[in-house]
Structure 1
Amino acid sequence: MATQKLYVGAKLRSVRTRLGLTQKDFAAKLGISLPYLNQMENNNRPLSTTVLLGLAQDFGVDITELSASDTDRLVSDMREALADPLFADTQPHLADLRLAAANAPSLARAFLDLHRAYRQTHERLASLDEALGQQTSATASPWEEVRDFFHYTDNYIDAVDRAAERFAKRATGDLAAHTSAVLADRGITIRHVAGDGVRHYDPDTKTLTLSPRAAPETQRFQLLHQYALLGQHELIEATLDLARFQSETAREIARIGMANYFAGACLMPYARFTEAAQDTRHDLERLSIQFSASIEQIAHRLSTLQRPGSKGVPFFFARVDQAGTVTKRHSATRLQFARFGGACPLWNVHQAFETPGRFLRQLAETPDGARYVILARDVSKSGGAWGRPTRRYAISLGCEVRHAADLVYADDLDLDQDAAFRPIGISCRICERTNCHQRAVPPLERQLSVDPNRRGTLPYEVAP
């Protein structure tokens, strides 16, 4: 099989800029001509083996950073945006989208921001949603802005992750006891009293209240979350400054996200957790016991192991509610999630609600031909007392089939049979499959044929 050519001019240019070198100096250090470097940075030539070796040996660059994962994400997001009927008469070719994502990623993201602003404005004017109708800003919602920030950083924040690892190493015994002692040294009183929420901090009295109704792993997580907000304030604020969010609301949401990230990285320190994940072959239940964390916390942490030089298996992670809405999402793989609407109904995560407490396995293939091993599990959360509502969620964790040997859940699956892989998509409106029995709406990029004298699985046929 021929090796795929690597056109990553924007990333090569970013590496050079980060090193503070001119094109002339960079070319000289790599042992190539200036015109040759210029052609590679402008994607007129693919990266050569000489350049790849030079980047790794002379500059210590992790060549996995030069993968096309960001480009794939941008292409997927642009295809979905361009499926909007607004662009019905102006559909760029896939090759053009790949060129734009590779050569001008900032322009591609600006286009996505512009389309999102248009979509939100249109929805407000049409009064499709009362909540949106009360908003006055046409920019990205704060929630979406923060979600996209983590999405495009591979859900890995190096400075926060390493700080959490250092904090966990200083705990000679129980991490929760160590954290409680550190907070006590700051004059903070910790109470365990049932109330309406899981955690409450009163800055005036310096009192932290945790609900005893919450699961032990949740209480530990919330304890670390509060320490992150107080003890790692300067680090978190500096990280938020670099993100340059458009509104204070987005910054506040991201601050919570950063504290959550710190807490998870404390419970599951990067090096120790990565080693344990490899040793157990990513057995979520064994990891849950070893690190005293919930199944959801373990699955989410596995999707963040993208530290340059010591990356783990690239996973995608998602959490959905009973309506099929994706409430958390991250992908270090080629698989991307719908930015609008529900997830593909053929995805096994929807069936997890029917089998609480059990792992469901699925071999799946997306329209681009990529194949995945996917786990799904119900992670519904009790209210902690009679009469209190249960929050119903299911999670999905998956990786490409080429990593199946590293996954204990794939041991007895027939990976060589094409029929074993179920076709799934991103969302119906951009899915290219013409014969899906679960299609909810027609694909916007295809012509339809409607015959009143014939009825198949769908009331129409999709042109190939």
Structure 2
Amino acid sequence: MRAQKLYAGVTLRETRQKQGLTQKDFAAKLGVSLPYLNQMENNHRPVSTTVVLALAQEFGFDVTQLSVGESERIVADMREALADPVFSTTQPPLADMQLTASNAPALARAFLDLHRAYRQGQERLASLDEALGREDSAISPSPWEQVRDFFHYCDNYIDSIDRVAENYATQAKLSGPNALGAAHDWLAEKHNIHLRTKNTDVLRHYDPASRTLTLSAQAETSSKLFQIAHQTALLDHDDLLEATLDFANFNTPEARAICKIGLANYFAGAATLPYGRFLQVAQETRHDLELLANFFDASIEQVAHRLSTMQRPGVKGIPFFFVRVDQAGTITKRHSATRLQFARFGGACPLWNVHRAFETPGQFLRQLAETPDGLQYLSLARDVSKTGGSFRAPIRRYAIGLGCEIRHAGAMVYADDLDVTNRQAFEPIGISCRICERHNCHQRSVPPLERHLKVDPNSRATLPYSIGET
């Protein structure tokens, strides 16, 4: 497969401006001509290997930050948005979208926000939402969507919070044989907080007046430890959480409040599965999820989600995608450090093995998959049903998917007996039917919005229509 060219004009320009250098001085330090630097900063030419090495040597720049991940996420989102019938039948060329994502990411995000607002408006009109008749009915992204996009474009990795969580795990000795007791001792010694358990559906409740933290007696040990770490984040690192929220610049108090919970959850996950130690064990076990779960006394979902966040500059793990779906196929959690991006609207591709996980509870499903762009992946899927803790309590049923590009298969225990060199072994999957370009998919639910359809009443194949070109 041909190596992908790296266009990083925005990053180059920001690095130069932070150093207070003119283009002429910056070009001299990088060992290139002024016109060449100008072309790279404007994404007219890719960043060369010489420039990457010079950035590292002259400025101590972490070259792992020079990735196309964010641009590819934006391009994937733009492609899906531009497939909406509200736009003309002809999509802009992919090269134009890539140029916009690389050169003007803020403009691209503004476009995506506008399209999302349009979709929400259409949905409200379709359901005759009475809120449209009130003065406070201005259409804006829901608080949940704002928070989801914040983590999405942060690559699901918040460096400052990840590092303080790792430091807390070391100081509180969470790696010892009694991590739960150590976490409670930390709260007791630093904040004089009393811990108790109670038969309740509420996982965690903190009463500031009595300085009492109550945890559900039905919760597993890993869940109790997670909730204690969550409360520790709110008590010990509130300033850091608030500073991160200021940076996010949410436009509603609800989004800010939801994100604060998300940041505290991030801290808890990073504390119970500290970055350096978790990465080392993951590599030693060849990313065996069950061994990782047993080693860290965590759930399969927790370790799978943590694997998708291992993006610390300089010490990155394998780029994984992670997704959780419910029984209706709705995506409830999603993140991708790979070039595979999930649909922002609707469900995931029905050919993906994550949907079959509900049929085989307690088992890992493996799939060799290929997306329409020719990229190949190793995908794992497993159900993660969660009991309510009592006989009549409802059971929450989900399935999780975790995967990586096939070039990393050698580091995965799950690939050992798979023929990853045989292209015929790879199943074709897509992102969602509305933007999938495959012409002969037997599971297609709706036609692709950016393609012309041909309907012949005298002929019928798998589909009642054939898909033309743009």
Give the match for residue 305 of structure 2.
300
CA pair 398-130 structure 1, distance change in 2 beyond 3 A: farther
Give the match for residue 179 of structure 1.
183
SS in 2 for 1:85: coil
Give the match for residue 107 of structure 1.
107
TM-superposed deviation, 1:403 = 0.3
TM-superposed deviation, 1:46 = 1.6
In structure 1, C-alpha distance between the alignment counterparts of 2:133 and 2:453, rounded to whole Å: 33
Task: Tell me whether 1:93 sits opposite 2:93 in the alignment.
Answer: yes
Give the match for residue 21 of structure 1.
21
CA pair 383-131 structure 1, distance change in 2 beyond 3 A: farther
In structure 2, C-alpha distance between the alignment counterparts of 1:20 and 1:399, rounded to whole Å: 39
Give the match for residue 141 of structure 1.
142
Say which of 356, 373, 378 aligns to 2:361: 356
TM-superposed deviation, 1:4 = 3.4
Give the match for residue 247 of structure 1.
252
Give the match for residue 411 of structure 2.
406
Task: Tell me whether 1:202 sits opposite 2:202 in the alignment.
Answer: no
AA at the equivalent of 1:461: S
The correspondence of residues 8-407 of structure 1 with structure 2, limited to 5 A, is 8-127=8-127, 136-172=137-173, 173=176, 174-185=178-189, 186-407=191-412
Task: Tell me whether 1:440 sits opposite 2:441 in the alignment.
Answer: no
TM-superposed deviation, 1:48 = 2.1
AA at the equivalent of 1:154: D
TM-superposed deviation, 1:2 = 5.2
In structure 2, C-alpha distance between the alignment counterparts of 1:18 and 1:250, rounded to whole Å: 30
SS in 1 for 2:86: helix
Say which is worse superposed, 196-205 or 250-259, in terms of deviation.
196-205
Q: 1:428·1:443 contact (CA, 8 Å) conserved in 2?
A: yes
In structure 2, C-alpha distance between the alignment counterparts of 1:253 and 1:386, rounded to whole Å: 31
What is the CA deviation profile of residues 197-219 of structure 1, one whole-angstrom value per residue up to 9, with x for unaligned ones? 21112223222111111121111
In structure 1, C-alpha distance between the alignment counterparts of 2:313 and 2:236, rounded to whole Å: 26
SS in 1 for 2:439: coil
TM-superposed deviation, 1:308 = 0.4
AA at the equivalent of 2:181: A
In structure 1, C-alpha distance between the alignment counterparts of 2:37 and 2:188, rounded to whole Å: 57
What is the CA deviation profile of residues 339-374 of structure 1, one whole-angstrom value per residue up to 9, with x for unaligned ones? 000111101001101111110000001111110000
TM-superposed deviation, 1:124 = 1.0
SS in 2 for 1:430: coil
What is the CA deviation profile of residues 32-59 of structure 1, one whole-angstrom value per residue up to 9, with x for unaligned ones? 2222211110012221222111012222
TM-superposed deviation, 1:14 = 2.4
SS in 1 for 2:434: helix
What is the CA deviation profile of residues 100-132 of structure 1, one whole-angstrom value per residue up to 9, with x for unaligned ones? 111111111111011111111121122177999
Number of residue-to-residue matches in the alignment = 464
What is the CA deviation profile of residues 260-310 of structure 1, one whole-angstrom value per residue up to 9, with x for unaligned ones? 111111111111111111111100111111111100000000000000000
CA pair 77-129 structure 1, distance change in 2 beyond 3 A: farther
TM-superposed deviation, 1:428 = 0.5
Q: 1:65·1:308 contact (CA, 8 Å) conserved in 2?
A: yes
AA at the equivalent of 1:168: A
Say which is worse superposed, 230-239 or 451-460, in terms of deviation.
451-460
TM-superposed deviation, 1:459 = 1.7
TM-superposed deviation, 1:89 = 3.8
Task: Tell me whether 1:421 sits opposite 2:426 in the alignment.
Answer: yes
Q: 1:366·1:425 contact (CA, 8 Å) conserved in 2?
A: yes
Q: 2:452·2:468 contact (CA, 8 Å) conserved in 1?
A: yes
In structure 2, C-alpha distance between the alignment counterparts of 1:201 and 1:103, rounded to whole Å: 47
CA pair 215-43 structure 1, distance change in 2 beyond 3 A: same
AA at the equivalent of 1:34: L
In structure 2, C-alpha distance between the alignment counterparts of 1:395 and 1:132, rounded to whole Å: 37
AA at the equivalent of 2:414: Y
AA at the equivalent of 2:322: F
Aligned alpha-carbon RMSD (Å): 1.7
TM-score between both structures, scaled by the size of structure 2: 0.95
Identity within the alignment, %: 67
In structure 2, C-alpha distance between the alignment counterparts of 1:8 and 1:136, rounded to whole Å: 39
CA pair 89-443 structure 1, distance change in 2 beyond 3 A: closer
In structure 2, C-alpha distance between the alignment counterparts of 1:132 and 1:214, rounded to whole Å: 42
CA pair 364-41 structure 1, distance change in 2 beyond 3 A: same
Q: 1:125·1:133 contact (CA, 8 Å) conserved in 2?
A: no
TM-superposed deviation, 1:382 = 0.3
TM-superposed deviation, 1:78 = 0.1
SS in 2 for 1:399: strand
In structure 2, C-alpha distance between the alignment counterparts of 1:418 and 1:179, rounded to whole Å: 49
Q: 1:189·1:206 contact (CA, 8 Å) conserved in 2?
A: yes
What is the CA deviation profile of residues 229-267 of structure 1, one whole-angstrom value per residue up to 9, with x for unaligned ones? 112111111111111111111111110111111111111
CA pair 23-113 structure 1, distance change in 2 beyond 3 A: same
CA pair 368-182 structure 1, distance change in 2 beyond 3 A: same
Say which is worse superposed, 278-287 or 28-37, in terms of deviation.
28-37
In structure 2, C-alpha distance between the alignment counterparts of 1:374 and 1:41, rounded to whole Å: 36
In structure 2, C-alpha distance between the alignment counterparts of 1:343 and 1:318, rounded to whole Å: 10
TM-score between both structures, scaled by the size of structure 1: 0.96
User: Where does the alignment leave 5 or more consecutive residues of structure 1 unmatched?
Assistant: none
In structure 2, C-alpha distance between the alignment counterparts of 1:133 and 1:65, rounded to whole Å: 47
Q: 2:90·2:450 contact (CA, 8 Å) conserved in 1?
A: no
